[in-house]
Structures are given as structure tokens and as C-alpha cells.
Structure 1
């Protein structure tokens, strides 16, 4: 599995529009075959900071996601929303076996 953490800092004047657009993108992403989960979290100390946490079956699923209409449309339009560069981290891993 691939786990992606994408932290974004949104300009205050674009927060509502960002949330509308990201909601559409997340809804579409959750329907993709290779998506395990896709969530958005808002920082409790900075209301304009958000973390997307995505879990994908494999790299092929991520590649298909990055070509999807909802993703391309969001990325194309979202650049104006951000006050700082996106912080992106990608992890390869498996779910831990807990006893």
C-alpha cells in the first residue's frame, strides 16, 4: 500500500472555496477502485492548515488517480488557494498485524 500525506496551507479568503472543491475531489477519489481511504483533517491550531491522508492499494492506483478528471481539475484550480507550497510525503507500507 501507499500512504500519502499532503499538507496544505490555504489563504483565509479561499478557505470556503477550497473546502467545496476538495470535497468534490475527495468524493470522486473515494470511488476509485484502488482507493482504500481518503480523509481530510483540519489543524486544531491553524484553521487554514489541512492534511489529506490517502491510502492506495499500489502505485498503479495512484498513477490512475493522478490522471482522473476530478484530481486534474482540483490540482489545476487549487494552486491559487495555497499560501505556501504543498508538503507531500509518501510512505510504502502494510497494515500492522496487531495481537
Structure 2
């Protein structure tokens, strides 16, 4: 229980930082953005995390501005999971997406299988080759 009480505020602060770190929303909305989400699972919970993420992604795919998500597992350490997400609108991602019921439910359930809050970073597509 102490871990949950420590993890939740950190996760909320991380989300707030992500939302506040965008300088110019109109510029961000003009190009697709990449979001990298790194998860660390609790020991022996990788399969449970993958199952929960798969269910979450099925709902996320229905959202506006969604382009794609690729789920990666570290072949050397299956407790490391990475989502590579592409969105048409970073402002939508940082606001409306974060408030969706399916994401909020995942965050609540994540206490049962994640070792802590995810590391989230936003990347702007500059060039495609």
C-alpha cells in the first residue's frame, strides 16, 4: 500500500510535466508526434502487462488523432516494455487522451502489475526518409 501511495503522485507529476512541457500547441498539432512510453513490470508480470496493454490499445485505436502503436518487449529483460505511439495531435494526446475512461482504468489497474509509473517522452517527427 505504501508503494501505491508513493507511485501515484509520481505518475500524476509526470503527466503534468508532459502536458506543461509543450511550448506551442499549434506547431505540435501540425505534424505527427511520437510518444515513447517505457514500462517496468513487477517480477513475473510481463504477460499480464502485455494482456492489459493489448486491451487498452484496442480502445485507444478508436480515439481521434490516433495513428498507430507498436508494443515492444526487451528480449534480454521481458520486464521492460516499450510502446511506440504515433499521434496526429500532441495536444489531444496530452489532454483528452489522458482523461479517457479506458486509460484511467488502466492506470488504476496498473498498480497490480507495474513496478512504478511509466517513463513518457514526446518526440516531434522532423523528417521521414
Confirm or deny a common fold (TM above 0.5): yes
What's the offset of the Cα at 1:17?
Answer: 2.2
Mapped contact 1:35–1:61 kept (Cα < 8 A):
no
Structure with the larger helix share = 2
Residue aligning to 1:89:
121
Name the structure 1 match of 2:105.
Answer: 73
* Secondary structure of the structure 2 residue equivalent to 1:13: coil
TM-score between the two structures when normalised by the length of structure 2: 0.66
CA-to-aligned-CA distance 1:11-37 (integer Å, 9 cap, x gap): 123223222211111111112121011
Number of positions where the alignment pairs a residue of Structure 1 with one of Structure 2? 97
Q: Unaligned regions of 5+ residues in structure 1, if any?
A: none
SS at match of 1:51: strand
CA shift in 2, pair 1:51/1:68, >3 Å: same
Structure in which a larger fraction of residues adopt strand: 1
State the shift of 1:10 in Å. Answer: 0.4
Give yes or no for the alignment of 1:44 onto 2:88. no
TM-score (norm 1): 0.84
CA deviation map 1:48-82 (0-9, x unaligned): 11001111111232022111111111112113322
Q: 1:61 aligns with which of 82, 86, 92?
A: 92
- Structure possessing the higher radius of gyration over alpha carbons: 2
